Amino acid sequence: MKFERLTKYYFLRVMRLKEEPHELALGMAIGIFSGMLPILPFHIALAVALALFLKASKVTAAIGCLASNPFNWYILYLLNYRIGAFILRFSEDNKGFSSLMESLRTIEGHWELILKIVFSSGNILAAFIIGGIIMGTIASIPSYFIFLKLFSVIKIWRDKRKDRKNARIKKSKQ
């Protein structure tokens, strides 16, 4: 399948989601929040679990996790650590952190990276988690309002289109 066709297919799938704009936007915000956390292979699982708990769209929560992808992991995790280290007042010259960032730069397998984060010192793990929570919160709050507006516009457009179609059907039956 061509990329353009695949993109159009998924765009139409998102456009056809039936939930209310609030549920869809909340799902996106949850996915973006989850995507900012340093829990690499578990972003979607956390996002869907939070969406279930908060009664948000599970589909848009999974889509929102795409905010974190292999192209920006290095930058996200670097910022996570720097923000967390700043709050916890850690020094910048940490050899464990340098090794971890080198792994991200060379994009080792997911599991090797997870194991390095988990088995790194507790300070590094704490800095990553605190930084991820802060970045996730900062990114997800405005994204909720942006996507709420977007999904509201889509709902209005879809409702108008449905009304026009129903009017044409009614007119043709007369």
In a domain, 10, yes or no: no
Does the residue 11 lie in any domain? no
pLDDT at 119 over 80: no
Provide the residue range defining the domain that includes 55: 19-173
Would you state the torsion angle of the CA atoms of residues 91, 94, 97, 99, taken in this order, to the nearest 10 degrees? 160
Sign of the C-alpha dihedral, residues 124, 125, 130, 131?
A: positive
Which of 116, 36, 29, 39 has the alpha carbon at shortest distance from 80?
36
Give 136-164 pLDDT, tens digit per residue: 999 999 999 999 999 999 888 888 888 88
Q: Is residue 68 part of a domain?
A: yes
Domain for residue 134, yes or no?
yes
Q: Residue 163 to residues 15, 86, 121, 169: CA-CA distances in angstroms?
A: 17, 55, 60, 10
Question: Phi/psi at 56 (nearest 5 deg)?
Answer: -115, 175
Distance, in Å, from the CA atom of 93 to the CA atom of 96, rounded to the nearest integer, reads: 9
Whether 2 maps to a domain, the answer reads no
Q: Can you tell me the mean pLDDT for 28-33?
A: 94
Identify the pLDDT of residue 125: 79
Structurally, how many domains does the chain consist of? Answer: 1
Per residue in 62-110, pLDDT (tens digit) is 988 887 777 777 788 888 888 988 888 876 666 666 666 666 666 556 6
pLDDT at 172: 79
pLDDT at 101: 64
8 domain residue, yes or no: no
Q: In this structure, is residue 30 part of a structural domain? A: yes
Q: Looking at the domain assignment, is residue 141 inside a domain?
A: yes
pLDDT higher than 80, residue 131: yes
